[in-house]
């Protein structure tokens, strides 16, 4: 079993879902972590200056929004589904809807279709107003350990 | 307008400054511009521990690749603009073909193959040196003439007369 899945088992006992991010160096560096304070699993990317892509507007770099939507989908699959392996990403399509201001970004994922081997996940990111998403994404993940595909984590 | 850039080194130094050193997230990733010509951009990302998704394997997370491919596609668009204008990513698709090899730098190569008055279309690959053996493939579209001020990066096509 991978260290991440061991961490998942510990986190399930303690209920502190934010600790899942501690096992992922990139999530720590980007300050991306899941939270479930409201009973709903959300993922937050805490604002820090290294996220900026356009210093004139200013706006958060689009690549970081794609990255956090991908992490949102992974945390969702780990936490909300009975996965026995770390999901392997196949592809992701990100739609950019609004420029993201220099504040926290919050995202939520939902499973559109759960197959035996493949899962289709939708994720949506917003800032202050949930009704005004800054970006959305659709992604495919392989969730069966026997499949030969690149691991997303 | 600055003086004409005569050598490739001078041109790349300017691209490096405007597309990496003065864009905070690109700088944080340490993106190095390795090539630029009209409709084409290439960058390199060094492997670093904090970019890793799985600490057991050392394989990079998808995020640093996504950010590099987005930036590289954007740079390819900028080389096509004869008149500077603000633009923004409209959508970006990434196909993850195989895991990046731990410890190895990743190279991104982006092409802007079509530009209209409103939209620019790009394709890109990320690889370890052989474009025929990609780590990831990307397709990005960019909306031209978006709100806001033109950044220096967005005016590089005019500035370098590339």
ipTM: 0.91
Whether the upstream peptide bond of residue A144 has omega within 30° of 0, thus cis, is: no
Summarize pLDDT for B84-132 with one digit per residue, the tens. 889 999 999 999 999 999 999 999 999 999 999 999 999 999 999 999 9
Distance in angstroms (rounded) separating the CA atoms of residues B55 and B100: 13
Binary contact (B62, A95; C-beta < 8 A): no
Domains annotated for chain B, with CATH where assigned, are 8-160 (3.10.129.10)
The DSSP bridge pattern shows strands B106-115 and B119-127 to be: antiparallel
Global model pTM greater than 0.90: yes
Residues counted in chain B: 162
List of residues 6+ apart from B16 with CB closer than 8 A: B32, B33
- At residue B160, the pLDDT reads 76
From first to last of its 153 residues, what are the pLDDT tens digits of chain A?
A: 577 888 888 888 988 899 999 989 999 999 999 999 888 999 999 999 999 999 988 999 999 999 999 999 999 999 988 777 889 999 999 999 999 999 999 999 999 999 989 999 999 999 999 999 999 999 999 998 655 555 555
Tokens standing for A114?
A: 């759960």
Query: Would you call B20 helix, strand, or coil by DSSP?
Result: helix
Distance in angstroms (rounded) separating the CA atoms of residues A75 and A69: 10
Q: Which residues of A touch B69 (CB under 8 A)?
A: 63
- At residue A3, the pLDDT reads 79
What's the CATH fold of domain A3-142?
Answer: Thiol Ester Dehydrase; Chain A (3.10.129)
Binary contact (B99, A99; C-beta < 8 A): no
Confidence bin at B2 (pLDDT 50/70/90) = low
- At residue B22, the pLDDT reads 87
Q: Which residues of A touch B49 (CB under 8 A)?
A: 25
B151 to chain A, any CB pair closer than 8 A? The answer is yes
List of residues 6+ apart from A50 with CB closer than 8 A: B24, B25, B27, B28
């Amino acid at each position: 079993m991978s260290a991440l899945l061991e961490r998942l088992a510990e986190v399930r006992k303690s209920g502190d879902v934010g600790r899942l991010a501690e096992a992922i160096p990139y999530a720590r560096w980007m300050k991306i972590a899941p939270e479930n304070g409201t009973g709903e699993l959300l993922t937050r990317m805490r604002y820090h200056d290294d996220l900026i892509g356009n210093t004139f507007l200013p706006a958060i770099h689009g690549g970081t929004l794609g990255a956090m939507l991908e992490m949102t989908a992974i945390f969702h699959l780990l936490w909300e589904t009975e996965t026995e392996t770390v999901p392997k990403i196949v592809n992701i399509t990100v739609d950019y809807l609004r420029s993201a201001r220099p504040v926290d970004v919050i995202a939520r994922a939902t499973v559109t279709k759960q197959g035996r081997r493949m899962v289709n996940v939708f994720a949506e990111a917003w800032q202050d107003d949930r009704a005004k998403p800054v970006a959305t994404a659709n992604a495919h993940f392989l969730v069966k350990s026997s499949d030969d595909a690149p691991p997303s984590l | 307008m600055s003086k004409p850039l005569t050598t490739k080194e001078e041109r790349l130094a300017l691209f490096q400054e405007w597309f990496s050193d003065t864009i905070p997230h690109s700088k944080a990733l340490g993106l190095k511009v390795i090539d630029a010509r009209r409709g084409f951009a290439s960058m390199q990302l060094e492997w670093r521990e904090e970019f890793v998704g799985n600490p057991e394997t050392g394989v990079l997370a998808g995020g640093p690749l996504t950010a590099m491919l987005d930036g590289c596609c954007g740079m390819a668009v900028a080389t096509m603009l004869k008149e500077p204008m603000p633009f923004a990513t409209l959508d970006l698709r990434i196909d993850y073909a195989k895991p990046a090899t731990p410890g190895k730098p990743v190279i991104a190569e982006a092409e802007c193959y079509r530009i209209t008055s409103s939209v620019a279309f790009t394709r890109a690959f990320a690889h370890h040196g052989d474009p025929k053996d990609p780590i990831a493939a990307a397709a990005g579209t960019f909306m031209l003439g978006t709100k806001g001020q033109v950044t220096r990066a967005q005016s590089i096509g005019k500035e370098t007369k590339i």
